[in-house]
Structure 1
């Protein structure tokens, strides 16, 4: 007789990747919501001309929000396996560290700032990159499992 599992089990690594993916998905959605994002009428497809500000702090564009949505979906999907979760956290963390460097090197008002970024975005990218790499490296040391309701 086949019985369904009462609870899905996830390793702490997989749970971390799932949570990070959900947060990115929510941030991508919130970037389109007036009131949470200021100046949504000035939301542009891409580039430094978008004056929309998520939480009044982080400069966003349609492309920026879509990247967050896709990153969130990737995190949720990759959290299904231990290796996928580790790759998402470490690989995604490296991407965010590279975005931090890109944000430091590219003038905020230039056409090369296509996502767009501002200083708050740059510092957030540094913290996200370091945090994701740390989670992937530290939680990726063992393949222990834990019960999760997520």
Structure 2
């Protein structure tokens, strides 16, 4: 007799990872839609030096939107395993902080499209980073044991 796979309720690290995935995918989609709404202007607004901003605060960047989308998709995949959620949240948060720090210290970043440089984008990425790290630390004790 075949046993049916019973899905268990997600644990807090998985829920936190899903929230991060939702935030990242939403940011990416909103960035793409904002740019598409203004497509007639020019494709030059995809590059950092163009001065194109969302709400006058967040710099538009095709590369950064793609990274947000891919990272959000990765978070959806990782959320399937509670054991991988906390390291993912912590690593993502630290990576965001490193990018923000690098953007502040380096006058001419090697990959300017991937570095938040406007004050709004910097604060957005700091909030995302601290939220991911805090969520990972706060939910770490709720991870399932490998036997579950």
1:58 alignment partner in structure 2: 58
CA distance in structure 2 between the partners assigned to 1:47 and 1:106 by the alignment: 18
Please show how residues 71-110 of structure 1 align to structure 2 within 5 Å.
71-107=71-107, 110=108
Is the CA contact (8 Å cut-off) linking 1:96 and 1:126 kept in structure 2? yes
Offset at residue 76 of structure 1 (A):
0.7
Q: Which residue matches 2:27?
A: 27
Q: Which residue of 2 aligns with 1:133?
A: 133
Task: Determine the structure 2 residue equivalent to 1:147.
Answer: none
Higher helix proportion: 2
CA contact (8 A) 2:96 2:128 kept: yes
Structure 2 Cα separation of the partners of residues 34 and 114 of structure 1: 17
* Structure with the higher strand share, 1 or 2: 1
8 Å CA contact retained: 1:39, 1:51: no
Aligned pair count? Answer: 141
Q: Distance in 2 between matches of 1:31 and 1:9?
A: 32
C-alpha distance in 2 between matches for 1:22 and 1:75: 9
So what's the TM-score if we normalise by structure 2? 0.79
Pairwise CA RMSD of aligned residues? 2.7
Unpaired stretches in structure 1, ≥5 consecutive residues: 145-150
Q: TM-score, normalised by structure 1?
A: 0.78
CA distance in 2, matches of 1:44, 1:62: 11
